[in-house]
């Protein structure tokens, strides 16, 4: 199956999915406006709308997997963005999994696309949450790194070392088996025996991290998996 055919197929599926989601959002919204709706039914409709919202997010991510949107660069405060993750991912904390955040002091602001970075962080944290045991912990760490390798441009002058922020998302689940490690970023693939996702999160993370001038890699052993997201503070200002 060629890449062009795959893209056509995905675009067609996204179009159909969006039509279904529009119906769910429309009728769900109408029901929620009914003042005579009993609380149990209101709760069920609310969950239906939450599911439709997740479907909309999936549709957007499928589109990004094919072709990331035009980047809008601006300064982003990482601690503020991480602070919003708990509420934006509320749907995923039902098994008692919770976040612990440890960010280094005085992190520089990132010059990046805020929307795409938010998606990358959400997908990494969702992946860690799904890999965690019930009542487990997802840890988020961040620190500044520096590439001290001095490189020369055209043999005339030394470039400034590149400054990076590395974000680490850690779970304490079963780990990624060595025989599956090379397939982690393949679309629709899951390392878990009973996946509760679509297998699109990590391919999107890889694609968007590269679009932002960064890289992502992981280390894993039973009981501890760490995804490292390394982003330049200012893309294109060093090696």
Cβ contact 177:191 at 8 Å: yes
Decide which of 66, 87, 104 is a domain's last residue: 66
Instruction: Count up the domains in the chain and report the number.
Output: 2
pLDDT tens for 181-193 read 888 888 766 665 5
Decide which of 46, 66, 86 is a domain's last residue: 66
Look up the domain containing 14 and give its range: 3-66
* Residue 8 backbone phi and psi in degrees, to 5: -60, -40
pTM above 0.75, yes or no: no
Based on the domain organization, do 24 and 131 belong to the same domain? no
Residue at 36 is within a domain: yes
The pLDDT of residue 195 is 47
pLDDT-based confidence at 168, cuts 50/70/90?
very high
Based on the domain organization, do 79 and 145 belong to the same domain? yes
**Token pair belonging to 30:** 């109408």
Cα separation, 134 vs 115, in Å, equals: 30
| Position 150 pLDDT exceeds 70 | no
| Position 56 pLDDT exceeds 90 | no
| Position 149 pLDDT exceeds 80 | no
Based on the domain organization, do 58 and 94 belong to the same domain? no
Query: Which tops the pLDDT comparison, 207 or 70?
Result: 207
Based on the domain organization, do 58 and 96 belong to the same domain? no
Per DSSP, which regions of the chain are E strands?
Answer: 73-76, 98-103, 110-113, 137-147, 152-153, 157-158, 162-171, 215-221, 224-232
On average, the pLDDT of the chain sits at: 83
Based on the domain organization, do 50 and 82 belong to the same domain? no
Based on the domain organization, do 223 and 112 belong to the same domain? yes
Based on the domain organization, do 53 and 81 belong to the same domain? no
Question: What is the DSSP code (8-state) at residue 35?
Answer: T
CA-wise closest residue to 137 among 102, 181, 185, 189: 102
Residue at 108 is within a domain: yes
């Amino acid at each position: 199956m060629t890449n062009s055919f795959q893209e056509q197929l995905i675009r067609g599926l996204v179009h159909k999915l969006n039509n279904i989601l529009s119906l769910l959002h429309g009728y769900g919204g109408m029901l929620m406006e009914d003042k005579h709706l009993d609380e149990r039914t209101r709760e069920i409709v609310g969950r239906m709308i939450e599911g439709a919202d997740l479907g909309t997010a999936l549709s957007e991510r499928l589109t990004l997997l094919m072709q990331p949107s035009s980047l809008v660069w601006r300064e982003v405060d990482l601690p503020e963005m991480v602070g919003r993750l708990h509420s934006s991912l509320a749907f995923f904390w039902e098994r008692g999994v919770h976040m612990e955040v440890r960010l280094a002091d005085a992190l520089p602001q990132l010059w990046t696309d805020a929307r795409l970075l938010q998606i990358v962080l959400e997908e990494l944290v969702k992946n860690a949450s799904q890999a965690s045991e019930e009542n487990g912990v997802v840890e988020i760490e961040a620190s500044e790194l520096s590439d001290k390798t001095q490189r020369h441009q055209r043999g005339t002058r030394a470039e400034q070392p590149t400054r990076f922020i590395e974000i680490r998302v850690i779970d304490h689940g079963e780990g990624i088996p060595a025989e599956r490690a090379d397939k982690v970023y393949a679309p629709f693939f899951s390392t878990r025996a009973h996946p509760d996702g679509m297998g699109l999160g990590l391919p999107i993370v890889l694609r968007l991290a590269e679009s932002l001038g960064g890289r992502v890699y992981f280390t894993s052993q039973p009981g501890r998996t760490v995804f490292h997201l390394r982003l330049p503070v200012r893309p294109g200002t060093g090696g």
